[in-house]
A and B are shown apart, each in its own frame.
Chain A
């Protein structure tokens, strides 16, 4: 029952959020200088005149007041029509959906790497608090936080593809193609999680229920892995739910670097060319995904710790 009510309230939130989000983006897009007209007319290699530009502006309705344009777009969306790209002349939904799986796959790859990196380093930092493994863990986290991901990606390509010839430079197709983009993404995301896990674990290890478990004579490994770690994972899951949005932003850079056929190149080009329907469609779909993933996070809370009730913070 609780799960159903969470889902219900989230659905209402979803609609409100998408309305606000889409309006703000629409407004920002229209305020930012530029329009897709010159790209449509291919002025870079075809003769055209400003008269044709004005004609096309009218044809696309870009001379209408912003509210009218937004209303028109919203009306179409209400009928489940995200429109057509003004440049590629293809349905926006198709364009985004054909790239979404690759982005999701890379996110999962990045999460696997994230888990492999941050759990051991976080645990090391907590268990050896103040001693050299803690400093190593901290040092790695600092490095990860300060290296820009495009540069890290280039470095990994240089070492693993060029020097050792182990992995492909770019592209997609095999499991090997996953390795470098996933590592880049995982490393870029991990510092926050390493530090957070360490702090939480230190706090948890001092809490009374761990003392109680110790008193009952449970083995230390068991306490650490099954009791303390489980309790400390909750803020990490929260963090992950909150950072999905920034993750999708960060992944764009990595996708472009590795020619990963996700949404990165699509959205960057759409923004550069002011392909409004594609930008709006992307915002809606990503907004939808963020809400859904937050919902999944909430449901996971219930599974990790059944004591949590929606809307109440656990101490």
Chain B
């Protein structure tokens, strides 16, 4: 009798607890933002992004420009060409001096007009808070007069204009309080509330210079788990979800209210060769490994089709990329090359030269889950022709490649090769001997000389021609094997209109985007 009562009580307590738990879920304020707003007639959307922002100070974090809060003087358009934005025009006065004219009628969210002085103050703050950008912009002096601002760089610096595309080079009101959480800038949306690493709430700025936005409210949320992002999109809690893992796409594609957008990114996945290793100093060996990479299979099987096979460092959409077909998979040609290099198969079926077998260490990391798969695939292909590849998976690939330079032969790696629509960045950091992303100690004198020349050329056509030449040298020397350009995969609700993701990932929230 007693036990029965006790049992009833306990079961009742558990049910009660469960029901109260669920009840609170029916609280109307808990429903997705978009649903509330459809009741009041306001247009609002929620965008879900993968990398959480600790601060939204536009001079330090990308979210300032991404969320439509702040803007830069110049931007890149969908063809990745540089276009005016807050600056309506600019001219180069001499090798080191540039004058930009700021558009009339641009105002900060508090209504104050933006002039040359305001832009100057903004850049002064950049120099203070963002060392990396400061050293990249190389600004020596600035002079403001009316709507004009004149920059003088410390040295001849033709890439100056394209460097201004960087989202951190945005224009904000520097005397605003609490810039890290409530920056005041010129974009179509102003910040209502920011919860660090969780969400940014935005509302339309009616005084926006390029026409007030169609949407009333936008919420940008962060979640670093790809599965959760896909679930949030399906539940209607997000209207746009960035960087969905390919394996989560089936239910999204099957849903009539959702679509998947897949655009090529500015990133390239590649195999990096350690130029300090004798075996890899032989061009035949690098070319042989290059021939073992089956790019089509990597695209279709590892990336589920959300990638483009690579034919060089730069996305083929760029004028300076090359137009050749990607190197095709050819193991017999690879074997022939290795034979030319003096490698013979020993009794165990392994390739060897001067009594030493061809055994290579391939470093990879989990940060981009597709890279270890590509490493394993290459390992299997190499084993077929008698090259032994040992894979090491490291936590921090950069420190491993730099600190243990004599331990690895190959590495899977991924880089933004032209983050601001110009290849100069990649040529500088990845190939110059002192480049900060050149752990493989690549040193091709002809290429170094070309990069140095590129660094002082302003003319766009000449830059394109030089970069094309650089790409040709890279094709011949094979200091890396470019595998593919991964796509940016975005899940979008069908209610979103006038919007598609761009390769650059700089301008996520716009004044023209709309909902039905």
Question: Which residues of A approach B to under 8 Å, CB–CB?
Answer: 33-35, 38, 40-53, 56, 85, 87-90, 95, 98-99, 116, 120, 123-124, 127-128, 133, 150, 154, 157-158, 160-162, 165-179, 183, 219-221, 224, 256-261, 265-266, 269, 272
Contact = CB atoms under 8 A, between A and B. Distances in A.
A33 B5 contact: no
A178 to B, nearest CB: 8
A89 B129 contact: yes
Contacts of A161: 231-232, 235, 237
A167 B23 CA distance: 10
Contacts of A87: 54
Contacts of B52: 259, 265, 269
Nearest to B128: A89
B55 A257 contact: no
Contacts of A38: 398, 436
Contacts of A168: 25, 30-32, 237
Nearest to A265: B197
A48 B24 contact: no
Contacts of B235: 161-162, 165, 169
Given A41-B436, A49-B435, 17 more contacts: A34-B398, A43-B429, A44-B416, A50-B436, A50-B438, A90-B180, A124-B10, A157-B228, A158-B231, A165-B235, A168-B25, A171-B221, A175-B27, A179-B21, A221-B2, A259-B221, A261-B195
Interface of B: 2-3, 5-7, 10-11, 13-14, 17, 21-22, 24-27, 29-32, 52, 54-55, 60, 129, 131-133, 135-136, 166, 180, 195-199, 221-225, 227-228, 231-232, 234-235, 237, 396, 398-400, 403-404, 415-416, 419-420, 424-425, 428-429, 432, 434-438
B400 A33 contact: yes
A100 to B, nearest CB: 12
A90 B132 CA distance: 17
Contact of B436 (A34, A48, A170): A48
Nearest to A273: B396
Contact of B13 (A44, A53, A116, A166): A116
Nearest to A264: B197
Contacts of A89: 60, 129
A138 B344 CA distance: 62
Nearest to B425: A47
Given A46-B133, A176-B24, A179-B21, A221 B6 contact: yes
Return the 6 tightest CB-CB contacts between A and B, nearest first: A176-B30, A34-B399, A33-B399, A261-B198, A45-B419, A42-B132
Which of A48, A157, A179, A256 has most B Cβ within 10 Å? A48
10 contacts: A40-B131, A45-B416, A88-B54, A127-B3, A161-B231, A168-B32, A169-B231, A170-B221, A178-B24, A259-B228
Contacts of B415: 44
B198 A260 contact: yes
Contact of B60 (A44, A88, A169, A272): A88
B225 A256 contact: yes
B54 A269 contact: yes
A166 B224 contact: no
Contacts of B234: 162
A188 B227 CA distance: 20
Contacts of A154: 225, 227-228, 231
Contact of A265 (B2, B22, B224, B399): B224
B233 to A, nearest CB: 9
B95 to A, nearest CB: 19
A49 B32 contact: no
Which of A33, A160, A272 has most B Cβ within 10 Å? A33
Given A157-B231, A161-B235, A168-B32, A52 B135 contact: yes
Contact of A34 (B31, B396, B428): B396
Contacts of B29: 173-174
A169 B231 CA distance: 8
Contact of A162 (B10, B129, B136, B231): B231
A48 B132 contact: yes
B27 A174 contact: yes
Contacts of B26: 166, 176
A124 to B, nearest CB: 6
A120 B13 contact: yes
Contact of A160 (B7, B25, B404): B25
Contacts of A88: 54-55, 60, 180
A175 B28 CA distance: 11
Contacts of B135: 48, 52
Nearest to B133: A46
A175 B24 CA distance: 6
Contact of A256 (B30, B224, B420): B224
A45 B396 CA distance: 18
A53 B398 CA distance: 13
Given A161-B237, A221-B5, A45 B166 contact: yes
Given A44-B416, A266-B197, A51 B434 contact: yes
A38 B131 CA distance: 12
B456 to A, nearest CB: 14
Which of A34, A123, A177, A269 has most B Cβ within 10 Å? A34
Nearest to B55: A88
Nearest to B22: A166
Contact of A123 (B10, B400, B420, B438): B10
Contacts of A45: 166, 416, 419-420, 425
A38 B398 CA distance: 9
A116 B436 contact: no
A51 B436 CA distance: 8
Which of A47, A157, A224, A265 has most B Cβ within 10 Å? A47
Contacts of A266: 54, 196-197
A134 to B, nearest CB: 12
Contacts of A179: 21-22, 24-25
A176 B132 contact: no
Contacts of A85: 54
B231 A176 contact: no
Given A41-B132, A116-B17, A175-B24, A46 B166 contact: yes
A224 B415 CA distance: 64
Contacts of A53: 436
